[in-house]
């Protein structure tokens, strides 16, 4: 017997907001806080939700849900975003795919990320087949290259557009540590460099 469980629009929005919150925690932008999560769940009908970082991090993080209702024209999107302020970081969630055409110019701006609504129905790191990913800091990256006597370009690659890379907001040139566990082989570690394209 199969179960067809459908969530209401409010339940889906709550799930999406919760997954965004956990994504920001995984990035070390925020700390886990039950009060914040409870407050967040009360904002499920809001078109915009903002966070202040819990770490020594310059961004105020603004999550904006974009639909034809609040973004009818590209000019309205420009008014909505103060995208020249580098102290703000924007996560734009596209609800209506029709407005995607308005966002092409914004994809090149470093402090703006764009997700499709459906991408955030689940937390990608919760999937059983997704191994643990960690972005190495500059010091650890340099030590790794010395340890293996190699150059950054010689490491295997992961695309910046990979879903897990987007979850952690990996930047081109970052080195990502990947830890896999197997009942047969035990723990294995590999490293990948983040690139824009694979030739």
The gap between the terminal CA atoms of the chain, to the nearest Å, is 47
What percent of the chain is modeled with pLDDT above 70? 87
Residue 194 has pLDDT above 90, yes or no: yes
Secondary structure of residue 35 in the 3-state scheme: helix
Task: Tell me: do 102 and 172 sit in the same domain.
Answer: no
Structural domain count of the chain: 2
Of 122, 154, 182, the one marking the end of a domain is 122
Neighbours of 92 (CB within 10 A): 21
Rounded to the nearest 5 degrees, what angle is found at the Cα of 39, between the Cα atoms of 34 and 135? 55
In a domain, residue 169? The reply is yes
pLDDT band for 99, please (50, 70, 90 cuts).
confident
| Domain with 173 in it | 126-195
What is the Cα–Cα distance from 138 to 81, expressed in whole angstroms? 31
Mean pLDDT of 84-99: 78
Q: What is the DSSP string of 128-171?
A: TTPPEEEE--HHHHHHHHHHTT--GGGS-EEETTSHHHHHTT--
Secondary structure of residue 49 in the 3-state scheme: strand
What CATH number is associated with residue 133? 3.90.940.20
Of 122, 144, 164, the one marking the end of a domain is 122
| Residue 156: predicted pLDDT | 95
42 or 148, which is more confident: 148
In a domain, residue 154? The reply is yes
pLDDT tens-digit readout, 118-132: 999 999 999 888 999
Secondary structure of residue 69 in the 3-state scheme: coil
> How far, CA to CA in Å, does 10 sit from each of 62, 83, 131, 186?
20, 29, 30, 42
């Amino acid at each position: 017997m199969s179960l067809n469980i459908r969530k209401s629009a409010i339940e889906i929005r709550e799930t999406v907001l919760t997954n965004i919150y956990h994504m920001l925690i995984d990035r070390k932008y925020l700390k886990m806080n039950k009060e914040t999560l409870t407050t967040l769940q009360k904002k499920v009908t809001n078109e915009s939700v903002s966070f202040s970082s819990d770490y020594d991090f310059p961004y105020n993080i603004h999550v904006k849900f974009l639909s034809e209702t609040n973004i009818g024209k590209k000019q309205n999107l420009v008014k909505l975003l103060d995208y020249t302020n580098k102290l703000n970081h924007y996560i734009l969630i596209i609800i209506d795919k029709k407005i995607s055409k308005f966002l092409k110019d914004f994809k090149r701006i470093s402090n703006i990320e764009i997700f499709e609504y459906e991408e955030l129905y689940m937390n990608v790191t919760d999937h059983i087949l997704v191994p643990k990913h960690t972005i190495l800091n500059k010091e650890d990256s340099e030590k790794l290259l010395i340890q293996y006597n190699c150059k950054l370009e010689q490491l295997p690659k992961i695309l910046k557009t990979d879903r897990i890379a987007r979850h952690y907001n990996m930047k081109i040139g970052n080195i990502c540590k990947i830890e896999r566990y197997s009942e047969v082989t035990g723990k294995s570690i590999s490293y990948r460099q983040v690139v824009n394209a694979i030739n």
